[in-house]
Amino acid sequence: MLSTKNLAGQSKIKVSVVIPTKERAQDLRVCVGSLLKQTVTPDEIIIVDSSQNEKLRSLLKQNFYESISRIKYIHSKVNTNEARNIGVQLSSGDIVFFFDDDVALNRDYIEEVVKVFMENGEKKIGGVMGNIKNMRRDTTSLKTNIRRLFFLDHFGNGQWLPSGLPTWIHGKHKIAKTGFLSGCMSAYRREVLREFAFDPNLGRLSGYSFLDDVDMSARVSQKYKLLYTPSAKLEHRQSKEARINPKILKRQLVANHFYLFKKNTPKHFQNVFAFFSSIIGMLVFTLIFERKPHAVIGWFLGITDVALRRYD
């Protein structure tokens, strides 16, 4: 195994990994297995489990007995962002990686991200993410054009739309500055996490903090540079375990979008127009492509949540 000292002849940078999880034992087993096979292995893996019981503790011991000293297991019934904040408090790394429990990393993922931090040693580099290799970069389909028309998130250069939503840089072939780090695969310097925390309000309804990556990136990018590197690759497996009901998912997406636009985006006419267009666009996209009645109901419930100021 390599250490970060091998990368640039510098003193070792300590690496922590934080993984929130809930009722996804088999996905987590794959994820942790890929972490322990890294060319630069993390010094600690902090797992914050919000499942109904602590069965996961036994699974980790059975599957990773030889590496169990690297793994910190915490059982706490909290939402995803609260779990991330707990992980940060318990971590000691100079760089803290955040992964979803349903990702599987290429063997050199951590090495490639750490290289970017070290080669761009200036303190202004606050965060780095890699590339989701099983996400097809789609810039021309009808779905993408509709999302672009309504100022919804779509593939682009990693910059912000006036609606307060991001464009995805995944699939680009060069290291580039981005305004947005994906929540399933982000890494931040310790200094950044002393100043910024994940917002627990984003997980009130379902326990999963939808648009949490949008919120964190929007705030951090105001002060620090964020970078994307295509050399660090992982697979986002989109777990079928413990999936959220479409009604709850859409309800929280709508309510969170309102909450974050109010919190993070200047209220210029262009931005307000784009924001309301994106809200209508969410419904249009759901009706045309998702065709799930429960998701449509969830959209209306999200609008109701906003009207009743439940997220204020």
Q: What is the CATH number of the domain that holds 122?
A: 3.90.550.10
Residues 257, 129, single domain; the answer is no
* 145 in any annotated domain: no
* 255 in any annotated domain: yes
pLDDT at 56: 92
Residues 204, 253, single domain; the answer is no
- Number of domains composing the chain: 2
pLDDT at 120: 74
> Which of 236, 256, 280 is at the close of a domain?
236
> Which of 236, 259, 282 is at the close of a domain?
236
Residues 107, 188, single domain; the answer is yes
> What domain range includes position 10?
4-135+170-236
Q: How many residues does this entry show for the chain?
A: 312
- Taking phi over 0 as left and psi of -120 to 50 as alpha, with beta for the rest, 264 belongs to alpha
For residue 114, CA distances in Å to 66, 107, 192 come to 25, 13, 16
* 79 in any annotated domain: yes
For residue 145, CA distances in Å to 148, 166, 286 come to 5, 15, 15
pLDDT at 311: 62
* 47 in any annotated domain: yes
Mean pLDDT by 10 residues, the chain (312 residues): 51 90 93 97 96 92 91 94 96 97 97 92 85 91 95 94 95 93 95 95 76 92 95 89 82 92 94 97 95 94 87 61
End-to-end CA distance of the chain: 49
Buried b (16+ CB within 10 A) or exposed e, 193-219: beebebbbbbbbbbbbbbbbbbbbbbb
pTM of the model: 0.92
> Which of 197, 217, 236 is at the close of a domain?
236
pLDDT at 220: 96
**Contacts for 312 with CB less than 8 Å, ≥ 6 apart:** none
Residues 250, 226, single domain; the answer is no
3 state DSSP class of 25: helix
* 165 in any annotated domain: no
172: nearest Cα among 224, 129, 132, 230: 230
pLDDT at 6: 54
* 54 in any annotated domain: yes
* 160 in any annotated domain: no
